Structure 1
Amino acid sequence: MQSILEPWPWYVSGPLIAIIMFTLIYFGKTFGMSSNLRTLCSIAGAGNKVKFFDFDWKAQRWNLVVIIGAVIGGFIAHFYLSSATNMDLNPETVKTLSTLGFENAGKSLLPAELYSWDAVFNLKGLAILIIGGFLVGFGTRYAGGCTSGHAITGLSSLQLPSLIAVVGFFIGGLVMIHLLFPLIFG
């Protein structure tokens, strides 16, 4: 019997995602986190300054439930459904990460070298946050949506632009991890 603290298998989580997507498609709705950010900016009054944010955000109120669900779900998953087990990383990956300065590779989902206040409040950390945030924001706007919107909603509704965007996300991820990551942390 599977423990509740273990990840759900694909045959449980996959159909649950499919049911949610079929329901959204049936009601003519789309899913994506970047659309929620646009809605929040519109609520805060960004539409007075930037035309992109000038739209009827009240028609997107239902989508704000996604943000609330992500926060509550993340809290529940972290504090009630997670176990403190080591990750089963390939020994070569651990070795490579160790050469890049990651001391506890495989011991934590969030390495302290990236996800700690010390890592954020220095010149390198701030530069990574600012440049990375700008690139993610630009890429999301340029691609017409975020990874969740394209990979889940776009692919499930068979949209060719979403397929192209998802392929681009994967290529970008490979370039980042194999070329840029060693330059930044090497």
Structure 2
Amino acid sequence: MEYILQPWPWYVSGPLLAMIMFTLIYFGKTFGMSSNLRTFCAIAGAGRKTAFFDFDWKSQKWNLVVVLGAVIGGFIAHFLLSNPVDIDLNPVTVESLSQLGFENAGKSLLPAELFSWDAAFSLKGLSTLIIGGFLVGFGTRYAGGCTSGHAITGLSNLQLPSLIAVVGFFLGGLIMIHLLFPLIFG
């Protein structure tokens, strides 16, 4: 009998995440991925050019472990824990994606129309990456953090700005998928 891998259930992953957050709060640390980019820029010497990057990056070494863990975890998840079965998408969603040019909607978690080298190096792909990267970077800086930082750390600390940011992230996602996505891929 073949064992089919499944995602961790909420009652395992939720308490693990809560324990990590409790530990970070206890030690006065905050979780977020975007702060690591600032740390990488400071390590590379950007502090000589811009005051924003002129800080003691060594105090953030612990947070670089988060990046390493994300890379290792992504590798393990993809190569060891992936379940190659079809994704159970709503037939209406499959039809909508098919109309936008996605040939195998629901057959892969990462559709080739978005996540392939051919797609990335096309004019549309490069434009999407550059404009999207700029908007994500601007939004992260403007909001004072990324989705993981606000949604996990900020909300667990009951911070109103994080609640406002998370609502904004969700609204932005809805606008993107319902208004802009059809324009880009239609």
The bucket for the TM-score relative to the shorter chain is over 0.9
Taking the aligned partners of 1:133 and 1:43, their CA distance within structure 2 comes to 21
Q: How does 1:31-180 map to 2 (within 5 A)?
A: 31-180=31-180
Alpha-carbon distance between aligned partners in 1 of 2:172 and 2:34, rounded to the nearest angstrom: 18
Structure 1 residue runs of 5 or longer lacking an equivalent are none
* TM-score (norm: length of structure 1): 0.97
1:83 CA drift (Å): 1.4
- Once residues 73 and 158 of structure 1 are traced to their aligned partners in structure 2, the CA distance between those partners, rounded to angstroms, is 28
- Distance (whole Å) between structure 1 residues aligned to residue 83 and residue 169 of structure 2: 30
**CA root-mean-square deviation:** 0.8
Q: Distance in 2 between matches of 1:142 and 1:126?
A: 24
For residues 80-100 of structure 1, give each alpha carbon's deviation from its aligned partner in whole angstroms, at most 9, with x where no partner exists: 111101100000000000000
Q: Which stretch of the first structure deviates more once superposed, 168-177 or 74-83?
A: 74-83
- How many residues align? The count is 184
The 1:17/1:4 distance shift into structure 2, 3 A limit, reads farther
The whole-number CA distance in structure 1 between the counterparts of 2:138 and 2:50 is: 15
Partner of 1:10: 10
Identical aligned residues as a percent? 83
Residue 4 of structure 2 contacts residue 83 of structure 2 at CA under 8 Å; is this kept in 1? no
Does the CA-based 8 Å contact 2:98-2:105 persist in structure 1? yes
| Deviation per residue, 1:142-180 (Å, 9 max, x gap) | 000000000000000111000000000000000000000
Gaps of 5+ in 2: none
Structure 1 residues 110-144: Cα deviation after superposition (integer angstroms, max 9, x where no partner): 00000001101111111000000000000000000
Hey, which bits of structure 1, 4+ residues long, moved more than 6 A? none
Partner Cα distance (1:122, 1:26) in 2? 47
- Alignment check: 8 A CA contact 1:86 1:107 kept: yes
Q: Does 1:20 align with 2:20?
A: yes
In 1, the alpha carbon distance for the partners of 2:116 and 2:76 equals 21
TM, length-normalised to structure 2: 0.97
Q: 1:4 Cα deviation (Å)?
A: 6.9
Secondary structure (helix, strand or coil) at the match of 1:5 reads coil
